[in-house]
Chain A
């Protein structure tokens, strides 16, 4: 079956550091890929998405590229802020379906 694997957290960075959170997937078809973010006490917010190979999703300084050859969708940001502290989830789904398959989440802690 389909699955998503994320790097173990927590990831602790100083403000303005470069961020990479690794995400790889196993899929039987050609899914769309997503990054969601969850701030403390809140639900999930869509951060960015990519619907096909080589697409790059970007939002709020975060980027991720859909790499079919390495089955990866790594999240990057050039300079993190304290306000980026949250849990980040990588996920996939197919077409118009609403079933998302999530990774286990990676907690990011950014300090001054």
Chain B
């Protein structure tokens, strides 16, 4: 069974640009969530999508947005990039909300964004 796939794995952008990251969840998983990992702030929840609807949102500015498609694939977008957006962005998929209590999360390998 294929795992969570994130693309691209590495990318370099400059301040002011925007970036789009993609995540393909495990087949059958309808929940996709995104996390930002930095050395200073650790792992922080960005948002979760379930059946194409944002179900939960973390404490990030509006420059961070996402969406989910009918096939459960998700994208996140960061506009007007800042140096502090340099991070590893992790996507996780889950069967949460599909009748399973704990809905454990399965993570992809991440997209490492460097902002210059």
- Residues on A lying within 8 angstroms of B by beta carbon are 32, 34, 36, 41-46, 49, 51, 89, 95-105
Contact = CB atoms under 8 A, between A and B. Distances in A.
A101 B33 CA distance: 13
Chain B facing A: main interface SS:
strand
A89 B56 CA distance: 22
A104 B42 contact: yes
Contacts of A43: 4, 90, 107-110
B45 A32 contact: no
Nearest to B109: A43
B45 A96 contact: no
Contacts, number: 67
A92 to B, nearest CB: 11
Which A-B residue pairs are the 7 nearest by beta carbons?
A: A43-B107, A102-B43, A98-B33, A44-B107, A96-B96, A43-B109, A98-B48
B101 interface: yes
Given A44-B105, A97-B103, 18 more contacts: A32-B101, A32-B102, A43-B90, A43-B108, A49-B102, A95-B101, A96-B100, A97-B48, A97-B96, A98-B31, A98-B50, A98-B105, A99-B48, A100-B43, A100-B45, A100-B105, A104-B42, A105-B43
Interface string B87-116: 000101010110011111111111000000
B45 A101 contact: yes
Interface of B: 4, 31, 33, 35, 42-45, 48, 50, 55-56, 58, 90, 92, 94, 96-97, 100-110
Contacts of A95: 101-103
Nearest to B91: A43
A104 B92 CA distance: 18
A51 B48 contact: no
Given A42-B109, A102-B42, A49 B90 contact: no
A42 B37 CA distance: 12
